Amino acid sequence: MRLPLLLACATLLFIGPSQADETCMSPYMAKITGQEDLVYVWTLGVDGVGDGQDKLVTVDVNPASRQYGTVIHSLSVGGRHEAHHSGFTDDRRFLWAGGLDSSKIFVFDIYSNPARPRLHKVIDDFVSASGGVIGPHTHYALPGRMLLSGLSNNKDKGGRTALVEYSNSGDYIATHWIPDQAPPDSLFSGADGYGYDVRALPRLNVMVSSSFTGHDNYMAPLSEVVSSPERLAKFGNTMVVWNLHTRQPQQVLEVPGAPLEIRCAWDPSHNYCFTTTALTSKLWLVAMDAKRRWHATAVADIGDAAAMPLPVDISISSGDDQLWVNTWNDGTTRLFDIRNPNAPKQVYQLKIGEQVNMVSQSWDGKRLYYTSSLLANWDKTESASGEDLQYFKAYHWNGKALEPQFSIDFHQQKLGSPHQMRLSAYALYGVRPQPAAITVEVSP
């Protein structure tokens, strides 16, 4: 079957009844819109904390459950790999989770027993199969495939990297190197070849990727990175617009200051995405004009850039009217009104903890979940305010303020440092939660 037809068929196949989800999922996955039951937390192992291994931690988040607000399962994967990001396959049967240091990819079976994921497969050929890409970051569902964005390469461990495709069964398919020379039609000539996140807009036949820094920087202590002009010069300053079907780069956009997470609008009439820049603390709009050319524009400041708040994760509402923006260094989440995407306005903020990284928002916008860990060598080790350093926190958004629901101290529970989250629901797999309490199971 030709690829454009395959993509169109997949879009039709995955429209249907659904139960619960966050708003950053691939458009090739079902939109699940009710109450989520579980959150899977990909967690960094910490020396001296529990078994010290990276692990997938399952938290019960359904208020109707007896185990609400508790950890009900923990599955260790052996060793520390710099656990970072994860993503479901398009059928939501498997969760892929990567290690930025080892470049191993851990594939978890979610559908057999959603409350107790099991390790299905370890992909350890990412570097050799891809032709030298290291640091698998975003795990993004395409029809029958997973698209992985790399952060670095094994030649010089700098920022030059690629997008890598695997089949859902874990077989390598292709490597698409991020351009270090701008395509002929690009409006900006300063391509750097760096990578970080990737998102698809199938109706426009477009993918958009962003950029960060290489292994030599993200595995170094943060104090060394920010104090070194040489290291700071090795951060990405570009985004790339790709042809989704051919996987060919079409444009390189100038976005100074390391553009990180990309969140694209859901409305079919909204041809734009947002990103934030970690080093310059700005909110950027990446939008298509009437001639189908893409442009990147800084549209708002995020806190005080001089204080280096360090914007990290962002979450767009399903109605394209609000955008949550986390700033790691000051532990704050901020809400922007984006009804006018060219002029976002901050309307709310709350300090979540001493540091904050990821935010996952339910489809209805009523529930938000936060985790704290950024990178093992960047995380804070002391809290001046006495607040939790490594946590999972749940909030209810009442339309005006975030209301705390529960908090789990991951270090106190000897689990490690929580990074990225993925939401799930029992109904997705045709099962119901067990009425009895679920015991914690830690597998070596």
Residue 205 to residues 4, 7, 202: CA-CA distances in angstroms?
9, 10, 5
- Local structure of 74: helix, strand or coil: strand
DSSP labels for 80-117? ---EEEEEE-TTSSEEEEEETTT--EEEEE-SS-TTS-
- Give the pLDDT mean for 190-206: 96
Residue 10 has pLDDT above 80, yes or no: no
Instruction: State both tokens at 219.
Output: 């595995």
Of residues 308, 325, 309, 329, the one with CA closest to residue 317: 325
Residue 307 phi/psi, 5° resolution? -85, 0
12 C-beta neighbours (distance < 10 Å), count: 8
Cα(227)–Cα(229) distance, integer angstroms: 7
Q: What is the pLDDT of residues 245-301, one digit of tens each?
A: 999 999 999 999 999 999 999 999 999 999 999 999 999 999 999 999 999 999 999
d(CA 26, CA 30) in angstroms, rounded, equals: 9
pLDDT-derived band at 11, boundaries 50, 70, 90: very low
Q: Which residue has the tokens 């997470």?
A: 261
- Model confidence at 192, in pLDDT bands (50, 70, 90)? very high
Closest CA to 13 of 148, 144, 138: 144
Strands (E), 290-401: 294-301, 311-316, 322-327, 332-337, 345-351, 359-361, 367-371, 391-397
> What's residue 387's pLDDT?
75
CATH number at 3-443:
2.130.10.10
Is 37:49 a contact under the CB 8 Å cutoff?
no
- What does the pLDDT read at residue 13? 34
| Average pLDDT value over all residues in the chain | 92
Tell which residue, 281, 260, 250, has the closest CA to residue 188. 250
C-alpha span between 441 and 434 (Å, rounded):
15
Cβ partners under 8 Å of residue 256, min gap 6: 237, 277, 279, 280
Count Cα neighbours of 118 within 13 Å in the Cβ-side half-sphere. Answer: 4
| Predicted structure pTM score | 0.93
Sheet with 417-424, strands from edge to edge, namely 417-424, 38-44, 55-60, 71-76, 442-443
User: Over the stretch 25-76, which tens digit does the pLDDT of each residue have?
Assistant: 899 987 667 899 999 999 999 999 999 999 999 999 999 999 999 999 999 9
Burial of 15 (0-12, 13-18, 19+ CB in 10 A): exposed
* pLDDT band per the 50, 70, 90 thresholds, residue 1: very low
104, 140 contact by CB (below 8 A): no
Q: In whole angstroms, what is the distance from residue 150 CA to residue 157 CA?
A: 11
Least confident of 155-164, 277-286, 423-432: 423-432
**What pLDDT is stored for residue 29 in this prediction?**
86
pLDDT of residue 434: 63
DSSP 3-state of 29: coil
CA distances from 285 to 262, 264, 270, 299 (A): 10, 10, 12, 6
- Quickly state the pLDDT bin for 439 (edges 50, 70, 90): low
| % pLDDT > 70, the chain | 92
Q: Is the pLDDT of residue 12 over 70?
A: no
